[in-house]
Amino acid sequence: MNKLIERIICDPKICSGKPCIKGTRIPAHIILDLLAAGEDFEGIKKAYPNITDEDIRACLNYASALADEEAGVAV
């Protein structure tokens, strides 16, 4: 398993089981939404000072893994 993906956890007791950055209550989709809106790493870390560049890359890696898993499914 990719070490970055290990930074994303799903725990039913945290954010209703949505994938979150380990050690936080920040859902991965929030970070991905910010990136999609054009926010850069520094802006995201300013908004969420308890996350790192590696956490942001983990969210991207997680999304990539999901997209690969869902290949062929129309969006």
Q: Position of tokens 């850069």? A: 40
Give the Cα separation of 57 and 65 in Å (integer).
12
Give the Cα separation of 50 and 39 in Å (integer).
17
What is the model's pLDDT at position 72? 53
Average pLDDT over residues 9-30: 94
Give the Cα separation of 19 and 21 in Å (integer).
7
* Predicted model pTM: 0.85
Question: Hey, what CATH topology would domain 5-68 get?
Answer: Arc Repressor Mutant, subunit A (1.10.10)
pLDDT at 18 over 90: yes
Average pLDDT over residues 15-28: 95
What is the model's pLDDT at position 6? 87
Give percent above pLDDT 70 in the chain: 89
- Kindly list the domain boundaries of the chain, sorted by start residue: 5-68
**Which residue has better confidence, 70 or 7?**
7
